[in-house]
Each structure stands twice: as C-alpha cells, then as structure tokens.
Structure 1
C-alpha cells in the first residue's frame, strides 16, 4: 500500500457523523463521513468504510459502545468526533469529555490507525439563544487540541473560520449541518489529511445575502424555539434521547459507492 493510501476507514461519533441534516431516515442519511469516504475512495480505490456513529450519544457512550467494534475492524484511518451532546447538557466537564476522546485517540493510534478529528464552532454565532455554550465549546476545543497533539491526531480546525457559522450551512434545526455544511466538513477533514486535490477552499465565505429585518429575525427565532428547541428540551427533561433504540447505520466495512452529486455548492 502506498503512503497516504487508505483501505479501511471507520467513523466514530454522534448524529453529525451519522449524517443527520444530510438526507433523511426514509431515503437514507449521507453526511460528512460518507462524503469523506467518497473522497478517500477516489484517492484509494478499494477503500472499505464503516460508520459506527449513533445520534444522541455523548462522548462516554461513543467510547463505551463504539471503540471496541472500531478496533475489531482494524482501520488504517479513523475519525472520532463527539462532545457536542455533552456541552448542550446542564452538567458539562470539558476535561471529562476530553478524557473519553483522548482514550479513543490513544487506543486507535496505538493499533496503528491514523486518526482525525475536528473542533467545534461557537453555537452562539448560529443562534443567539446558544450564546451561553460558547465558553464550553472553546474549552472543549482546547482539550481536543491538547489530546490530539499528544497522540499525533490530525485536527480539522473548523472552529476558526467564520463561514462555519453561516446559517446556510446548517439544517433548520441549527444543531446539525445541512448538505452544504456536511460537504464543507468533509472537505475540511480531507484537507487536514492532505488528500490529493484537497485545498482550503472550504474556508471561503458564501456570497452575501440580503439582510433580514429585526422583526423577521425575531420571528425566525420564535419559530425555531417552537419547532426544534422545545421538543429537544422536552426529550432531555424526560431523560430520552433521539438515539434510543438505534444502532449504527453501517457497522461493517463495505465498499464505497461512486460519489452522489451534491445538493449544495460544490467546493472547488
């Protein structure tokens, strides 16, 4: 196998890695990890890919439920992305979450896998009601960077670029990337990994759009609270998760199909 080739890619994580916001449960989810697998397959024909991510999982659950199966698949490349579900909960400890991520980094790299992860944007720049979570995201990102340096993990620094919080990259629930957002995340990880034909084009801003009036913006916030924030908070109060009863969508290493034309903007 040539240096830089990948034959077995395994993705670990939560709803973002599962692909929520990019497709649906009827026709199937795509998501950034699927998109990354397509880019990898273009550079490394014969790639096989497994996605162990399950929506609603916190970092401790990703560690407990997905690391063992991931190691059994013996990947030469793995992505580990988790922690957003933790920082949205009332009790949050960046070091505790970071310890779970670091344990996964350590185990996968010790087995010989190349590992990649990413940092998280300030959710308060996506929706004003999420501003209290900004310091949490910053603390978690710093813990991710520290753990990554210790274990030689590749970090896609999505947190640094303003385009990442452009509403057009996000699905209506503002918790998951939309198709264009997933496309940009895949491009960011591909660039961090140094894949052929990858570049920093994913950091470029979208064309300007007309400014909304204050009343229009306020109305959008109220509709979002009613349609998404309320149901989400209700599940938390009842101790329920969107991932209850769900299992990984792609638990086995399978060949990667030809790329599907994007629904969003193609990143040059």
Structure 2
C-alpha cells in the first residue's frame, strides 16, 4: 500500500491524517457552529470528492491530530506515533513554526528533528506532504524573523527532496501576502487564506481545483492613516500583548487541548 500511495499523483487517496499545530488545526477559520475548519479540513473535502468520482465512492476517511501551540518535539511525541498507527494513505506534516518563533529557536537544529520525524513517517505512510514556512515580510509581529523562517524553509525543501515528499510551498504562495488572507490576530489565516492553502495543497497532490489559489484579490480602497493606527492599537491590545504574556509565562493556547478528530472517520 505504501509504495502505491507514494506514486499517487491523481489525489485519489483513501485516507488522510493531518499532523501539526494551530495552522493545521484551523485556527482563524471557524465554521457555522464555531468548530474550527481550516485548510486541512478543506483539503479533506476535496480529497473525498475526488475519491467519490472514482471506483469506491464514500469510503474516504480523515483524521486531524493537530493542536494549537504545539512545539515540534510535542508533535513528534504525541501525533507522529498516532499517525503511524493509523497508517493512512496520506499524511500532511506541518511543524516547527512555533519553535522558530521562540527566542533562541535554531532553524538548523529544528530541521534535524523534523527530518527524523519525516523518516519515521515515510517508512509507514504512502505519501507524506510537508509544508514550508510563510514569507512573513508583511506580518508586523513576525517580520523580524523572516531570515530564520527562510532558513527553515530551505531545510524543509531539502528534506523533502531527500525523502521524496511533495512540498506545500507556502513561501511562494503570493496570495497569502495580502492582509485579507490573515485573521484579526494577524498570526493565523482567515477562512479565505485557509481556502487558498487547501487549493494549493490539492494542486501539489495532482488534483484539478475549481479556482487558482494565487488568483489576485479584488482591489481595495485605501484606508486613512488614522484608521490604520486605531486598528494597530486595538490589535496590539487584544492579540499581541496576550500572546507575549503567554510566551513570558511559558504557557500555550493549546494547553490541555485534545485533537479535534483523533480517529480516521468518514466525512459527514
């Protein structure tokens, strides 16, 4: 099964497990009932629809093990063994971003541990899709970390080459450079941002998609400098200061949280 799935270029997977942190959990993309969706859930829907067009409709299964705030070592300890146990056709593995954001986060050291996890996953799973970092030049609180994120992104691409993994290259996805691709906290994607990432992931897996994920955004009217200042002050008070406070206290927004979808189950 593993070899067949590794050679799959049509997106006709029977099962999919998402591994990662808040990005993969879907923070910033609440559904109608408040439950988080996110790019991984949206990708699962595309994969299920693609499967339904094949010979065995309705048998697609999906698990999402991601939990917000998780560092790479936590993801490797908590989620990777479960993904190996589930043995799906496809795993998306996006991790290490929270390590890079922390003071002293060394992208070279993080990449070494990331590759060890990729080695474990590729030995047990047909296809392992890995994710690069975003280009953060337009993200105020993360702009100064752009060099570290670029270094980690280069490592991820090299690791993917060595292990034959498809790459969800978020650095080159120009559409997420727009402010509208990000939620109010400016740290997580908006629903439209998550949608564009899901479409790009589907493309990477060889699937046709209904719209181009890099389609330009509609023109937007220019805001007054006073409006921008008020928005920045409100953002700092509501999101930036609590985020810094959690870092100083060694707390995580994901403390005591469990994965939202720990088992491979059919999509409703």
* TM-score (ref. length: structure 1): 0.90
- Does residue 155 (structure 1) correspond to residue 162 (structure 2)? The answer is no
Q: Which of 21, 26, 33 is the aligned partner of 1:19?
A: 26
1:126 aligns with 2:133: no
Pairing 1:163-178 to 2, within 5 Å after superposition: 163-178=175-190
The answer to whether structure 1 residue 80 and structure 2 residue 87 are counterparts is no
Distance in structure 2 (CA, Å) of the matches to 1:84 and 1:24 = 24
Q: Give deviations 1:118-145, integer Å, cap 9, x for gaps.
A: 2222223132x42211111111100110
- Cα displacement string for residues 199-254 of structure 1 (whole angstroms, at most 9, x for unaligned residues): 77101210121122333222222211111010011011111100110111100000
Note the C-alpha offset of 1:107. Answer: 1.4
Mark the CA change 1:25 to 1:233 in structure 2 (over 3 Å): closer, same or farther.
farther
Distance 1:80 1:9 in 2: 11
Between Structure 1 and Structure 2, how many residues are aligned?
Answer: 255
Kindly indicate whether residue 41 of structure 2 is the aligned counterpart of residue 34 of structure 1: yes
Deviation at 1:82, TM superposition (A): 1.4
2:244 aligned with 1:233, yes or no? yes
Secondary structure of 1:202's match? coil
Q: CA offsets per residue over residues 180-209 of structure 1, 9 Å max, x none? A: 0110110010001111x2277101210121
Q: Which residue of 1 aligns with 2:55?
A: none
5+ unaligned residues in a row in structure 1: which ranges? 258-268
- For the aligned residue pairs, the C-alpha RMSD in angstroms reads 1.9
In structure 2, what is the Cα distance between the partners aligned to 1:37 and 1:96? 31
Using the size of structure 2 for normalisation, the TM-score is 0.90
> Hey, what's the Cα distance between the residues in 2 that align with 1:47 and 1:77?
11
- Is 1:214 the equivalent of 2:221? no
Secondary structure (helix, strand or coil) at the match of 1:159 reads coil
Structure 1 range deviating more: 140-149 or 197-206: 197-206
Could you say if the C-alpha distance between residues 192 and 200 of structure 1 is closer, same or farther in structure 2, counting changes exceeding 3 Å?
A: farther
- 1:9 is matched with 16
Matched residues in 2 for 1:130 and 1:210: separation?
25
**Which string of whole-angstrom CA distances, capped at 9 and with x for unpartnered residues, describes residues 43-99 of structure 1?**
113110100000000111111111101100011100001122112211111122212
Distance 1:26 1:87, change over 3 A: farther
Contact 2:91 2:125 in 1 (8 A): no
